[in-house]
């Protein structure tokens, strides 16, 4: 399957920085197909300016969150339908920063993923353990719990991507060992295969301090089908280098 590299810009980039960043990626992509699909997930207010630039190009657009309802009295929220209307094909749901900052739990995340599907978006559903859970050897059971409760029954390889993001690796420069990444991804694959007819086809991303120095080794792991990149996605050279290591 064709890998997917995602740039999760988080709450970064003013409009001018965002447009320069995506223009830089467009230039690289015009010269070379790195052999993977490329997706950028800017903040809500930057979606349209970025959509205008990447229109017709092989770079896809995604958002970082959506509401469970498609419209209504939800001050400050944005629906999956609005994201699709703005040009998005993907939305990240259940990122650990949403789970922590906004007290999102699996019940909410599974509902957001369902809303994404209903609007024709692919949901990138994030799962992962804290350092305490890793040290207590609870990683596989925590990931299993997230996976069972955050991935809706209607998920297919066409509408869902699963991202394994150990919380302690996000933005810290720390990463699990290759063996640890491999163990978790194999476990996720087995759970998806047991639950979904096309469980073998879901793309499984690794996220957490992925950078040009470690991407090649991580992306070579069986059952790692791409990356969810935060910090390193804000720099054209670094992000492109990760894409090129596919």
Q: What is residue 205's three-state secondary structure?
A: strand
Among 128, 176, 207, 226, binds ligand PGA (CB under 6 A): 207
Catalytic entry in 95, 117, 146, 187 = 95
Could you say whether residue 209 binds ligand PGA (CB under 6 A)? yes
- The two most distant CA atoms of the chain are separated, in Å, by 48
Alpha-carbon distance of 82 to 70, in angstroms, equals: 8
Alpha-carbon distance of 44 to 83, in angstroms, equals: 8
Count the site residues for ligand PGA by CB under 6 A: 13
Could you say whether residue 170 binds ligand PGA (CB under 6 A)? yes
Catalytic entry in 97, 104, 129, 165 = 165
| CB-nearer residue toward ligand PGA: 104 or 165 | 165
Could you say whether residue 128 binds ligand PGA (CB under 6 A)? no
| CB-nearer residue toward ligand PGA: 22 or 39 | 39
In the DSSP assignment, the letter for residue 231 is: G
**Known catalytic membership, residue 95:** yes
**Known catalytic membership, residue 165:** yes
In the DSSP assignment, the letter for residue 68 is: S
Which H or E element spans position 206? Answer: strand 203-207
Question: Please, what is the minimum distance in Å from the beta carbon of residue 230 to ligand PGA?
Answer: 2
Which residues, numbered 7-36, are part of the site for ligand PGA (CB under 6 A)? 8
From 46-54, 145-153, 192-200, 202-210, give the range in contact with ligand PGA by CB under 6 A. 202-210
- Spatial CB neighbours of 238, under 8 Å, sequence gap ≥ 6: 211, 212, 232
In the DSSP assignment, the letter for residue 103 is: -
- Spatial CB neighbours of 37, under 8 Å, sequence gap ≥ 6: 2, 3, 4, 5, 58, 60, 226
From 75-83, 101-109, 132-140, 203-211, give the range in contact with ligand PGA by CB under 6 A. 203-211
Question: Please, what is the minimum distance in Å from the beta carbon of residue 92 to ligand PGA?
Answer: 8
Among 90, 230, 240, 243, binds ligand PGA (CB under 6 A): 230
Alpha-carbon distance of 102 to 13, in angstroms, equals: 21
Active site residues: 95, 165
Applying CB under 6 A, the residues found at the interface with ligand PGA are: 8, 165, 170-171, 207-210, 228-232
């Amino acid at each position: 399957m064709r890998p997917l590299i995602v740039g999760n810009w988080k709450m970064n980039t003013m409009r001018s920085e965002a447009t320069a960043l995506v223009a830089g990626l467009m230039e690289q992509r015009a010269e070379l197909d790195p052999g993977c699909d490329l997706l950028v997930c800017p903040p809500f207010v930057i979606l349209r300016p970025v959509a205008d630039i990447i229109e017709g190009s092989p770079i896809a657009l995604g958002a970082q969150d959506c509401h469970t309802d498609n419209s209504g009295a939800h001050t400050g929220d944005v629906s999956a339908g609005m994201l699709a209307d703005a040009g998005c094909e993907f939305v990240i749901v259940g990122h650990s920063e949403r789970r922590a900052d906004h007290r999102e739990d699996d019940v909410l995340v599974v509902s957001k993923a369902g809303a994404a599907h209903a609007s024709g978006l692919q949901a990138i559903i994030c799962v992962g353990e804290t350092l305490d859970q890793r040290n207590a050897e609870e990683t596989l059971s925590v990931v299993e719990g997230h996976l069972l409760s955050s991935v809706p029954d209607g998920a297919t390889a066409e509408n869902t991507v699963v991202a394994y993001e150990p919380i302690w690796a996000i933005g810290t420069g720390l990463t699990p060992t290759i063996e640890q990444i491999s163990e978790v991804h194999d476990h996720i694959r087995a759970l998806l295969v047991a639950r979904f007819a096309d469980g073998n086809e879901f793309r499984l991303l690794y996220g957490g301090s992925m950078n040009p120095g470690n991407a090649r080794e991580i992306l070579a792991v069986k059952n790692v089908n791409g990356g969810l990149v935060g910090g390193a996605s804000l720099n054209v050279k670094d992000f492109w280098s990760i894409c090129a290591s596919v």
